[in-house]
Amino acid sequence: MRDRQQKIVEYVQNVGLASFADLAGMFNVSPFTIRRDVDYLAKSRLIARIKGGAQRIETPDQFREAGLPNRMQTNYKHKEIIARNAMDFLQSGDSIFLDGSSTVSCLARSIAQADLNITVVTNSVLIVMELAQANNVRVMGLGGIFDRETYSFTDFESVSHANTLYINKAFFSCTGLVPNEGTYENAVFNRNIKRLISKRSSKVILLLDSSKINRPALNHTFKSDEIDILITEKKLPDKESKILTDNGIEIIIAK
């Protein structure tokens, strides 16, 4: 997002409702420019466009407590670019898995806009919401115990169902990637389902903005040699890049 667009989001979230005229005066730009900004932000589901202005998107208290709005906005431009590049790996008829991370949610949004003829397996409520209006996307949800921290279903039923699946490509993100160790997560309950899905998938694709490199977290999830492709937005330092490629990972710098 441009700096002005970020400030529009912050202002609308604070006040709840703002007219195009008010926003145009505040940022000293034309109403046409503000409408274009609001259209972009509404498409990204950061605010809602209403007649004559913009409105804060009301979310349940639990979403706010989980830090979802902040997580979605952090490095949002990079996540969008990474998601657009990930679309190159999708073909009509594919069966894929999408985790509930903010970066993979951007991919789900791109899939919904393209309305691809694919099957999406997920344990994430957020992913289901992104794909709800895409008529050609078949969505298969994994059941289990609802985890309020990640808005995902986990544990026995998810694992039992996942054991019967065959998936062409699995798209994951993570809290951090340490090149010579692998990926790390803060969310304890998602680790098992990610591990199982990776074993039921032909290709494991990691979508990760470069700020998460060399950032360990609570739970180790994947070893580096269990990842097939890494899509990130910036060229990695030579040392980290060599470690990853030596582990068989294809690194793609998103454009």
Supply the range of the domain harboring residue 31: 3-55
Q: Are residues 50 and 130 in the same domain?
A: no
What pLDDT sits at residue 84? 94
Q: Are residues 18 and 111 in the same domain?
A: no
List, for residues 169-220, the tens digit of each pLDDT value.
999 999 899 999 999 987 766 788 898 899 999 999 999 999 899 988 878 9
- d(CA 183, CA 219) in angstroms, rounded, equals 8
* 61 located within any domain: no
- d(CA 66, CA 152) in angstroms, rounded, equals 12
- d(CA 32, CA 250) in angstroms, rounded, equals 43
* 62 located within any domain: no
* 169 located within any domain: yes
* 139 located within any domain: yes
**Domain count for the chain:** 2
The CATH number assigned to the domain holding 12 equals 1.10.10.10
Q: Are residues 79 and 194 in the same domain?
A: yes
What is the separation, in whole angstroms, between the first and last Cα of the chain?
Answer: 16
List, for residues 139-174, the tens digit of each pLDDT value.
999 888 887 767 888 776 666 667 788 999 999 999
- d(CA 81, CA 60) in angstroms, rounded, equals 28
Please identify, among 34, 55, 76, the residue that sits at the C-terminal boundary of a domain.
Answer: 55
Q: Are residues 21 and 93 in the same domain?
A: no
List, for residues 82-135, the tens digit of each pLDDT value.
999 999 999 999 999 999 888 999 999 999 999 999 999 999 998 999 998 899
The reported pTM is 0.73
To the nearest 10 degrees (0 to 180), the angle between helices 3-15 and 31-43 is 80
